[in-house]
Amino acid sequence: MDTARNIVILGSTGSVGASTLDVIALHPLRFKVVALTAFGQVDALFDQCIKFTPLYAVMVAESGAEQLSVRLKAAGSSTEVLCGEQALERVAALEQADTVMAAIVGIAGLRATYAAVRAGKRVLLANKEALVTAGPVFMGAVRSSGALLLPIDSEHNAVFQVLPANFNGDLGRSGVRRILLTASGGPFRDMPSEKFATITPDQACAHPNWVMGRKISVDSATMMNKGLEIIEASWLFNADEKSIEVVIHPESVIHSLVEYLDGSVLAQLGNPDMRTPIAYALDYPRRIDSGVSFLDLAAIGGLHFSLPDCARFPCLKLAREALRAGGSAPAVLNAANEIAVAAFLTSNLPFDRIPDLIEDALESAAFGPVESINDVFRADRTARDFATQWLTDQKLGFRNRSMQVHA
């Protein structure tokens, strides 16, 4: 029998982390959980530790770590509780672990994911912001460390599955003409844009096909999620921005397609459930049971496609502009978007103003090169300061200030 894989899950209490544990539970002899991490969800992490008995549990919040430690000791658990950002990096690079699921949402997961890559781990990448903000540094570390990078986003995982098995980063030599990323269009694909100002957080988080966290649900509703995926795909597959297209596919059955020079189009299909790409990556190249129900095409009856309307969803255009600008531009895009989405979710910014904040941040920034992780965090911090001040200025009726990003 094959040796069990030893898994670290960064962000185990989120939707991707929980789905990963669902798949692992189906294969108890194949996978061993050695570390689980969460920000502050004590109850959820406690339950996971009791069920999967990891060596380590990390809570970013100190108060949460203290509570978790007391509860685990009282339950007779031998799991050691660690605390803080440095503890995330420590478990990401654990000698006992060979595989790391990087599922912390946003740039908060960048340092730990980077630590896993530098340690040469098999990295299951659900944290798209790592490549969006730090693409050149991140991919350089993958090459130098020998890490194996496996995409978890359903779209990129689909592309990975239908590219040639010997794909070496050269689309042209592999006969690929373009990559087609599918998008559901979110909950507002048919809503008149003049009604966007009245959209509530709960409406934006009610995705028609996928079960996701609130931040990524809003990104799907604005289609910024697809914009970030274009940037991610460009780094994952060494693809020029012009060779990556987006097509609206409401059923979310085809997860992405690759068009070849001979006119062939290969697609990966399946029910919309993150456990499918997770299972594929967990035991790649072997396929295992994911617990997902099998696809019934006859029951679906039909598949539909259309082109996205960038006038209705300008975040797509903004993401392409950031990718073309390069350097720290994608980090500015991501930071401004995170601030805008957080403001929307707390009812401090109307849904239709999210792109306005991001656009002003991009227009006001002086982009610099990204040569280290610290460059990314400097650009991120400056962009967040600008976006926070932008929100204040909008309330007070001031004109936007300029931003200098020296990354």
HEC-encoded secondary structure of 7-34: EEEECCCCHHHHHHHHHHHCCCCCEEEE
3-state secondary structure of 249: coil
Architecture of domain 321-395: Orthogonal Bundle (1.10)
| pLDDT tens for each residue of 151-177 | 999 999 999 999 998 898 999 999 999
d(CA 168, CA 402): 42
Both tokens of residue 207?
A: 């995705």
Contact 91, 11 (CB under 8 A): no
pLDDT digits 0-9 by tens, 79-113: 999 999 999 999 999 999 999 999 998 899 999 99
pTM over 0.85: yes
Would you say 138 and 53 are in contact if contact means Cβ atoms under 8 Å apart?
no
What DSSP character marks residue 348?
Answer: S
Which parts of 123-223 fold into alpha helices (H)? 129-145, 154-162, 201-204, 214-222
pLDDT band, residue 4 (cuts 50/70/90): very high
Tell me which of 62 and 180 has the higher pLDDT. Answer: 180
CA distance 188 to 195: 10
Q: Which of 10, 125, 7 is nearest to 59 (CA)?
A: 10
Domains of the chain by residue range: 5-151, 159-272+293-300, 321-395
Query: How does residue 404 score in pLDDT terms, banded at 50, 70 and 90?
Result: low
Which residue in this structure is represented by tokens 């988080």? 205
pLDDT at site 406: 45
Instruction: Give 249-308 pLDDT, tens digit per residue.
Output: 999 999 999 999 999 999 999 999 999 999 999 999 999 999 999 999 999 999 999 999
Quick one: 5-151 is in which CATH superfamily?
NAD(P)-binding Rossmann-like Domain (3.40.50.720)
pLDDT tens digit sequence for 21-47: 999 999 999 999 999 999 989 999 999
